[in-house]
Structure 1
Amino acid sequence: MQEPIPGAATSGAPPGFGPTGRLLLALSKALSMVGGLVFVALVVMSIVSIVGRKLASAPVPGDVEMLQMCAAFATACFFAYCHLVGGDVKVDFFTARCSDRARAWMDAAGSLLFGLVGAVLAWRSAVGALDMRESGETSVILGWPVWLAQMLMLPGLVLMAMAGLYMVGVHLRSPDTVMTGAVR
């Protein structure tokens, strides 16, 4: 992680972000907060269910179904923000000796793959959700429509795709990848 310089003014957005990047970052941050709140609610629900099961033989009905459906949605909420702030895992053991320019190009390629994976996941999740909607598939205990849980993942996956593709441009516009008149 990069620590901020004490006393330096920060805009909240990483270097190289334009208005589109700042908007993506704000949307991603808001969605990740929603995902975090969903996880907190799931933890509370799980504690209530476990305690109810142990003390009163009265668990929360459908707790596992709720956990599965809501955790899928909440997890999808974090991908874009994590990528935009550079929080995803990178194995730099092999690239430590590469030039800054080579690393920037590899980061751009990784962001492109990240964006493409997000787009494919969003597309296939939408297709799968629509198929489940047509078939009328519901959860066993609660009878909740399964397609709805899958469709709720779409905003996070679409933002994931957009974040990846945006970061390609950020990496390619970085001073390390743009050729100038100076010899590097």
Structure 2
Amino acid sequence: MPAMQPGRGGFVLFAYHLCKWWAIGGGVILFGIVAVNVVSVVGLAIWRSPIPGVYEIVQIGAAVAMFMMLPYCQITGSNVSADIFTASLRPRTITILAGIGALLGAVFGLFLIWRMGHGLKDVYVYRETTAIYQFPVWIAYVPTLLSLALFVLAAIANMVQTAQGVLPEQVDHDATA
């Protein structure tokens, strides 16, 4: 059996596939938002009546979809970076900086989980709903918090990769071993 590529160990590979499928779910939600908008615009053009509350659907759906894609961006090293500052550095230094960035990402993700957890509690206790559909806002917090937990998991996987001397963006997770 051939040796596994560095940065693709069991934990990292598990986290990658979890983040990938979660992001695909976010893409499905985004596709649904586009479909709702198209139907609303066509309805307005043909019947002079758009879908009521389309703004609510787009607002909640877009927020959830974006959060669902965040862990995949983290685990693949696809988040925004300022390479212009690190272009002249040695590869090992860049890897160390990537590890520090992953650590900061994990800490920030934990902070967001903490604060959004309180937000979830508040909107649940006060029974906050959207104006037109009376959709309970707390429901949107659930996939958002799960996305943040996956983001932290992805950042930890990135720390494992950088500890092995591998940058997350250098790993082809979908390649066969």
Q: Percent identity?
A: 30
- 1:141 CA displacement: 0.5
Q: Structure 2 stretches of 5 or more lacking a match?
A: 168-177
Greater relative contact order (CA < 8 Å, ≥ 6 in sequence): 2
- Match in the other structure for 2:118: 127
Specify whether residues 54 and 118 from structure 1 end up closer, same or farther in structure 2 by C-alpha distance, changes over 3 A only. Answer: same
Amino acid at match of 1:76: F
Amino acid at match of 1:24: A
- 1:85 CA displacement: 1.4
Greater Cα offset, 90-99 or 41-50: 90-99
Q: Please point out which of 18, 32, 49 is paired with 1:27.
A: 18
TM-score (normalised: structure 1): 0.84
Q: How does 1:51-70 map to 2 (within 5 A)?
A: 51-70=42-61
Higher percent of residues as helix = 2
| 2:129–2:136 Cα contact (<8 Å) kept | yes
Matched residue of 2:86: which SS? coil
Counterparts of 1:120 and 1:85, CA distance in 2:
22
Is 1:80–2:46 an aligned residue pair?
no
Output the aligned Cα RMSD: 2.0
- Match in the other structure for 1:180: none
Counterparts of 2:58 and 2:12, CA distance in 1:
32
Amino acid at match of 2:83: D
Specify whether residues 175 and 76 from structure 1 end up closer, same or farther in structure 2 by C-alpha distance, changes over 3 A only. Answer: closer
Is 1:105–2:96 an aligned residue pair?
yes
Q: Give the count of matched residue pairs.
A: 166
Counterparts of 2:127 and 2:74, CA distance in 1:
35
Q: Please point out which of 139, 151, 167 is paired with 1:148.
A: 139
